[in-house]
Amino acid sequence: MGYNEFVIDAPRKSNRLQGYDYSQNGYYFVTLCVKHRIEAFGNISKDVVLLSNEGKIVKKQMNWLSIHFPYIHLDEYIIMPNHVHAIIVINNSIICGRDNPRIVPTNTVINTKKYNRKFNLLSKVINALKTTSSILIHQSGYNAFQWQRSFYDHIIRNEKSYLTIKQYIRNNPQNWSQDPENKV
């Protein structure tokens, strides 16, 4: 067996924090990248993100997430030319119907699989975003589009961290030219 065959077949190291319950209430900072850092979502002009059609599809799907997953809230996000940053809030005590958002008391038992915490994983939310946006991008004619495998996450544990990350997201377009990962 050659070296390349071994590397391809090697098990991938998980990016998730070992033993952490990613379905529990909390604030999560996530980053998703386009495979090979291809600038598929638009470009930066004068510190402003100008979204391409593909970027607009991702934006539409980002907004769709909290409709499809009523236990999440999209706190802050930015779609950059080759990646997306977002703060996703998981709150299992909120059930949002189309016409009736409400908070469920913590001692209430909800008998549907949809609201069972073990099914409300952050990875399911990210997978839904990547899958649905990829399908729509492919349908638009950009058949070569691919997301990078997995995603980066950071569990936000305090207000100082939250505020720092929120400012980082907001400043991302202004910092684009200094980003070592960008191909400018």
Stated pTM of the model: 0.77
* The two three-digit tokens of residue 151, written as one number: 């995603």
Model confidence pLDDT, tens digit, residues 108-133: 444 344 445 455 588 899 999 999 99
What pLDDT sits at residue 94? 60
Place of tokens 């802050």: 76
Element (H, E) at 6: helix 3-9
| 52 vs 69: CA distance, rounded Å | 26
Q: CB count, 10 Å around CB of 142?
A: 15
* Cβ(127)–Cβ(33) below 8 Å: no
Model confidence pLDDT, tens digit, residues 5-33: 333 444 444 565 566 666 778 899 999 99
Terminal C-alpha separation, the chain: 38
Q: CB count, 10 Å around CB of 88?
A: 25
* Cβ(115)–Cβ(95) below 8 Å: yes
Q: How far is CA 98 from CA 69, 85, 175, in A?
A: 12, 27, 38
Lowest mean pLDDT across 65-79, 99-113, 149-163: 99-113
| 79 vs 33: CA distance, rounded Å | 10
**Ordered domains of the chain (ranges, CATH):** 20-170 (3.30.70.1290)
Model confidence pLDDT, tens digit, residues 61-99: 999 998 888 888 999 999 999 999 999 998 877 654 444
What pLDDT sits at residue 15? 61
